[in-house]
Amino acid sequence: MNEKIITLESVEPIEIYGVNDVKLNIIKKYFPKLKLIARGYSLKVLGEPSEIARFEKKLELLIDNYHKTGLLTDTVIERLLGQTGDNIVETKEEQLSSDIIMFGNNGLVIKAKTENQRKMVSGILKNDMLFAVGPAGTGKTYTAVALAVKALKNKEVKRLILTRPAVEAGENLGFLPGDLKEKLDPYMQPLYDALNDMIPADKLNQYIENRTIQIAPLAFMRGRTLDNAFVILDEAQNTTESQMKMFLTRMGANAKFIITGDTTQIDLPPKQNSGLLQALRLLKKTEGISIVELDNTDVIRHKLVKAIIEKYEVNDTEARKHKDTEKK
Residue 295 has pLDDT above 50, yes or no: yes
Locate all alpha helices (DSSP H) within the chain, ordered by sequence.
13-17, 22-29, 49-69, 74-82, 92-96, 115-126, 140-153, 180-198, 201-209, 241-248, 275-283, 303-327
Least confident of 67-71, 169-173, 317-321: 169-173
- pLDDT of the residue at 96: 47
- Report DSSP state, residue 20: G
- Please tell me the predicted confidence (pLDDT) of residue 177: 54
Instruction: Tell me the pLDDT tens digit for each residue of 44-68.
Output: 999 999 999 999 999 988 888 777 6
pLDDT at 209: 92
Query: Residue 29 above 50 pLDDT?
Result: yes
3-class DSSP state of 315 = helix
Mean pLDDT for all residues in the chain: 84
- What does the pLDDT read at residue 166? 74
The overall longest dimension of the chain from CA atoms, in Å, is 87
How are beta strands 229-233 and 256-261 bridged, if at all? parallel
Report the alpha-carbon distance of residue 226 to residue 254 in Å, rounded. Answer: 9
What are the chain's domains? 2-82 (3.30.1370.10), 92-319 (3.40.50.300)
Q: Which of 225, 230, 216 lies closest to 129 in space, CA to CA?
A: 230
Instruction: Please tell me the predicted confidence (pLDDT) of residue 88.
Output: 43
- From CA 163, how far away is CA 218, in angstroms rounded? 5
pLDDT average, residue stretch 227-251: 95
By C-alpha distance, which of 67, 69, 77 is closest to 24?
77
Q: Are 283 and 276 in contact (CB under 8 A)?
A: no
For residue range 138-160, list pLDDT tens digits in order: 999 999 999 999 999 888 999 99
> pLDDT class for 258, splitting at 50, 70, 90?
very high
What pLDDT score was predicted for residue 305? 73
Q: So what's the pLDDT on residue 157?
A: 94
pLDDT at site 83: 61
Spatial distance between the Cα atoms of 72 and 143, rounded to a whole number of angstroms: 25
Q: Decide if pLDDT at 32 tops 60.
A: yes
The span from the CA of 224 to the CA of 198, in Å, is 27
Q: How does pLDDT run across 74-132, given as a tens digit for each residue? A: 877 887 887 654 444 444 444 444 578 887 887 777 888 888 999 999 999 999 999 99
Question: What are the C-alpha distances in Å from 153 to residues 4, 215, 269, 283?
Answer: 21, 18, 39, 30
**Mean pLDDT within 276-286:** 95
